Structure 1
Amino acid sequence: MKGVMIQGTASDAGKSFIATALCRLLKQKGFHPVPFKSQNVSNNSYVTADGKEIGRAQGLQAEACGLEAIPEMNPILLKPSANGQSEIVWLGERKDTVSGLAYRKTYYEQAVKVITESLHYLEKENRFLVIEGAGSPVEMNLKTKELVNMKIAEMADVPVILTADINRGGLFASVIGTLELLEPQERSRVKGIIINKFHGDPHFFEDGKLWLEERTGIPVLAILPYLPDHHLEAEDSLSLAERFHANVRKPIDVAVIQLPYLSNYSDIEPFLYEEDTSIRWVQQAEEFGAPDALIIPGTKSTLHDLAFLKDSGLMNCIQQYAESGGIIAGLCGGFQMLGEYLTDPDGYDSGMAGRIEKGAGLIPAYTVFYSDKTTIRVKGKVPSHVTGNEIPVEGFEIHMGQTLLHSSPPFIVREDGSGEGYASPDGRIIGTYLHHVFHSDSFRSDWLNRIRQEKGLPLHSSQVNRDKQNAFDQIAEHLEKHLNWERFLGIIEEDKKDTVR
């Protein structure tokens, strides 16, 4: 096959970022790229146009390629849930929920087959594959049945570019150690190295570059400086602390509950670019404080995270905050937990059939968990009673529960006229299944302007959700500026002279 694979020395080394930038750069240079990741382990999802669910990174990479995402770009998505189990999303549809051991025993051969079929499906379109690996290719306890790194490079017969994060320290050991632990035939596939997240002048790393090339015999294709504020979402959960840790206190304090089974935290990322707003993650009751607004995000295990809220004392904090007139937004699982009670008749959420739990009681609704899963894209409008203006919004829903409201005003009116979610009459408490509602600049600005007005701060409308296509162009330009394109081109065209159209 025609293509290249981006692997990393560790998780969060920058594989998704580089693969996405490469998708756009290859598109600009006349290739016809298509993204591929055989198996993704993530609770950050993307909903395709036909309502299928894949890893968010591959959805964004498809957009960078100018393509509609399809399930074959990420045929297997594993979504970690409670008790060491994961939901298996197979070609975009929910298949099962099993433990890691059971998955390896039961699904390995089936997984090899569906990955092979997906690769051949994408190859039929005569496109250039940009394949993303996962974690490290030398997890020795997993190598006998791995489905994400060198096994895939072999199946697709493509060269590998190894990415290493210099920001974490230990770069030389991670690169050399990775190469030493590869089998000879695996190591022979590694044709280049990219040093990622470099701070300072890359020229100061010239001696390190020469040492790596002399020690390994593999060219260092790029020393990529760290690129902040590129406005594209992070894929790896390890990047959560990195993206939010430097966020100092600002005039508006938005607290976000850091749930144990947090999912789709990309819902929160637009707040990072608000000049007067800081995000503060809360894990304990002692950290709650007196925020200007509270967000309860999505979760892969609603009932387990509901128990966490109660056991930690955070539920009492949330209820007292609401009684004092606090501004609260519940997103997906957060929406469910704000209701009166939740029931799991067949154990699809909690693993315990018949389980019933009280919610926060802040929204007049109850949630029932079923086996059927909702995965749809949504467009609609937020009615004027919520923020004072009727605002168009769009996003996606991914959830198994159905929430039934007691004749309450909806948060959103969909394009078909149906209501979604809940908004209190005064608009201070909202609940919605719509992921990425805060990516709407107009809605987010109006929601924050209510807080600004109450605090006597200047009102303004932010445009932080820039045109995504410009963001793709920005990261492609960043990669091209620092990539030895001629050497890279030589690698991908070796024995594949018909790559460029």
Structure 2
Amino acid sequence: MVLGTSSHVGKSLLTAALCRIFAQDGYRVAPFKSQNMSLNSAVTPEGLEIGRAQALQAEAAGIPPSVHMNPILLKPSGDMTSQVIVRGKIWGKLTAADYHLRRVEELLPIVRESYETLAAQNEVIILEGAGSPAEINLKEHDIVNMRMAELADAACLLVGDIDRGGVFASLLGTVELLDLHEQDRIQGFLINKFRGDIRLLEPGVRLIEDRLGKPCLGVVPHLHQLMIDEEDSLGLPSPDTESSSSWHPVDTPSRPLRIAVLALPSFSNFTDFDALRAEPSVSLHLCRTPESLNGADVIIIPGSKQTADDLLWLRSVGLANAVASHAVSGLVVGICGGMQILGEKIVDPSGMEHTETIPGLGLLSINTTMQPQKVTRLTSGRLLVPSLFGQPISSSQVSGYEIHIGETRYLDGANPFAALETGPNQESILDGCTALDGHTFGTYLHGLFDDDSFRHTFLAAARAFYRLAPASQFDNWQHNREASLNRLANAVRSSLDMSKIFSWVGLTYQHLPKSEETLR
């Protein structure tokens, strides 16, 4: 089990790395996180919702994602409440107090059953903890850290992040706040995200080993430009830190395409834009003020966990008017909740997110009614539009996944964006909408830009719309993602005492690292 001294120390990526290493060495391995809190989610082949980190870890292990890998997903709905997803479906909406004090014990049998299902199918399970195991205020009802470690009889590896400072104090404090039998489960620790001369670190490592009475399994370097999903928003750049001033005013035909993604208060599935950010011909910023949109070519309204509230926020800070003004002569895209915001109105008769009817921005001829049932599915299809932003397109294929509670209806004159195939009979359904002037489109498809063919078509059309020179280079996202997983695994292999880690699960480590080995 991979535990951390706090959130965002690298637990998710280290779990992914270990999954890849065991899989490369020929073992059936699967990830498991009993409870995850994140607005970043994914869909299994069965159409069930899990944390995106566990989907990434399954990808690293070379297996399809399963709802058993993350039986409980908490999706914050505000500072005090969360939507509780159990085995991929909405279970309820609870306050933090109600969940932790009264409901968590109710879910433990489900957690145990999911773990045992995975364990029966695999030789190795890599568990991931959440936050810190030393959250003493929540520990009594914890089902994701030490209680889960005991249930699985797991050897635990404690991760500290030196990049944020105080790594020795956080390692020592975490261990000392655990009960003695819990401390015994910690078999060793590692230091993550190290930069600099390791010789300067070594005296501290020796001292903390003596204080803890536990070995340091190694020091993992900070890996730059690792094109792998972030687990939570702590890994995102701060909105507006790179304001429009960094979009160079010189308007040469070869300049980057300037894409502004609105950093909504309930911004969800922010990994939708990782592939765009990686493109050499793109300059992508997260924006939260009208001023930061100055100079943008494309404005994207992303997915939202609280669509109506985020729409009201857009109006309160002046971004709604800024987007509408931009759409007159510029390009606007809405993804999932962002598409709903671009419509005529959002109605919520069941009070799923809001109790009022909220007027949308009116850029797309659609209305959305919120529903108690959530739509979650993987899907693919083809564009129904002959052009994108008025430019001819070379590829009409699209793919991605849907996670939404709204049902969107077309108004007179609406132009659907795509036809998607779904269900066991591959029935065709309409998705999305395009504006009559061709400047704006919306879709329910998360992961739309992960497809290399569509992303390159999108960028070519947007650049042509602004009379920019064609991109001189395109990124191969899928290839580079696989290479990043291998790079991560290789770095962990070479940094950690893998023989000791393998011995914890009764295996002998014999693998010799291969620099660019691809998992088959």
Bin the TM-score by the shorter chain. over 0.9
Residue 497 of structure 1 and its aligned partner are, at CA, apart by: 8.8
Asked if the contact 2:452/2:478 (under 8 Å) is kept, the reply is no
Residue correspondence of structure 1 range 365-380 to structure 2 within 5 A: 365-380=366-381
Q: 1:492 to 1:315 in 2, by over 3 A?
A: same
Residue 288 of structure 1 and its aligned partner are, at CA, apart by: 2.7
Match of 1:445 among 441, 449, 456: 456
Q: Secondary structure at the match of 2:233?
A: coil
For 1:142, the aligned partner's letter is L
1:311 matched to 2:316: yes
Structure 1 window deviating more from structure 2 (284-293 vs 332-341): it is: 284-293
1:412 matched to 2:408: no
**Distance (whole Å) between structure 1 residues aligned to residue 314 and residue 117 of structure 2:** 45
**Distance (whole Å) between structure 2 residues aligned to residue 304 and residue 242 of structure 1:** 21
Residue 114 of structure 1 and its aligned partner are, at CA, apart by: 0.9
Asked if the contact 2:499/2:508 (under 8 Å) is kept, the reply is no
Structure 1 window deviating more from structure 2 (214-223 vs 187-196): it is: 214-223
Aligned length, in residue pairs:
489
**Distance (whole Å) between structure 2 residues aligned to residue 288 and residue 458 of structure 1:** 23
For 1:298, the aligned partner's letter is G
**Which residue does the alignment assign to 2:432?**
421
Q: Secondary structure at the match of 1:374?
A: strand
Match of 2:236 among 230, 240, 245: 240
Residue 83 of structure 1 and its aligned partner are, at CA, apart by: 5.7
Q: Secondary structure at the match of 2:176?
A: helix
**Distance (whole Å) between structure 2 residues aligned to residue 195 and residue 278 of structure 1:** 33
Residue 455 of structure 1 and its aligned partner are, at CA, apart by: 4.5
Q: Secondary structure at the match of 1:303?
A: helix
For 1:385, the aligned partner's letter is S
Q: CA RMSD in A?
A: 2.1
Residue correspondence of structure 1 range 446-465 to structure 2 within 5 A: 446-453=457-464, 454-460=466-472, 462-465=474-477
**Distance (whole Å) between structure 2 residues aligned to residue 124 and residue 13 of structure 1:** 30
Structure 1 window deviating more from structure 2 (86-95 vs 123-132): it is: 123-132
For 1:485, the aligned partner's letter is M
Residue 490 of structure 1 and its aligned partner are, at CA, apart by: 2.9
Match of 1:145 among 141, 145, 155: 141
Asked if the contact 2:43/2:377 (under 8 Å) is kept, the reply is yes
For 2:301, the aligned partner's letter is I
For 2:415, the aligned partner's letter is P
Q: Percent identity?
A: 37
**Which residue does the alignment assign to 1:27?**
23
Match of 1:322 among 319, 322, 327: 327
Structure 1 window deviating more from structure 2 (281-290 vs 84-93): it is: 281-290
Which TM-score applies when normalising by structure 2? 0.90
Q: 1:460 to 1:393 in 2, by over 3 A?
A: farther
For 1:424, the aligned partner's letter is A
Residue 100 of structure 1 and its aligned partner are, at CA, apart by: 0.8
Q: Secondary structure at the match of 1:164?
A: strand
Structure 1 window deviating more from structure 2 (452-461 vs 302-311): it is: 452-461
**Which residue does the alignment assign to 1:121?**
117
1:482 matched to 2:495: yes
Asked if the contact 2:101/2:141 (under 8 Å) is kept, the reply is no
Residue 233 of structure 1 and its aligned partner are, at CA, apart by: 0.8
Q: 1:278 to 1:313 in 2, by over 3 A?
A: same
1:274 matched to 2:279: yes
Residue 254 of structure 1 and its aligned partner are, at CA, apart by: 1.2
Could you list the per-position Cα deviations for residues 10-45 of structure 1 after superposition, in whole angstroms to 9, with x for gaps in the alignment? 100000000001000011122221110000000111
Could you list the per-position Cα deviations for residues 369-423 of structure 1 after superposition, in whole angstroms to 9, with x for gaps in the alignment? 0111100111112243225223322110000001111242222222444321012
Residue correspondence of structure 1 range 43-442 to structure 2 within 5 A: 43-82=39-78, 84-241=80-237, 249=247, 251-323=256-328, 325-350=329-354, 352=355, 355-382=356-383, 383-386=385-388, 387-389=391-393, 390-406=395-411, 407-415=413-421, 416-442=427-453
Structure 1 window deviating more from structure 2 (385-394 vs 51-60): it is: 385-394
- Structure 2 gaps of 5+ residues are 249-255, 422-426, 512-520
Residue 360 of structure 1 and its aligned partner are, at CA, apart by: 0.1
- Structure 1 gaps of 5+ residues are none
For 2:458, the aligned partner's letter is W
Asked if the contact 1:52/1:375 (under 8 Å) is kept, the reply is yes
**Which residue does the alignment assign to 2:253?**
none
Structure 1 window deviating more from structure 2 (289-298 vs 82-91): it is: 82-91
Structure 1 window deviating more from structure 2 (199-208 vs 33-42): it is: 199-208
Asked if the contact 1:196/1:223 (under 8 Å) is kept, the reply is yes
Could you list the per-position Cα deviations for residues 321-366 of structure 1 after superposition, in whole angstroms to 9, with x for gaps in the alignment? 112x11111010000000001100110122x2xx201000000110
Q: Secondary structure at the match of 1:470?
A: helix
Asked if the contact 1:231/1:466 (under 8 Å) is kept, the reply is no
**Distance (whole Å) between structure 2 residues aligned to residue 385 and residue 26 of structure 1:** 46
**Distance (whole Å) between structure 2 residues aligned to residue 38 and residue 347 of structure 1:** 29
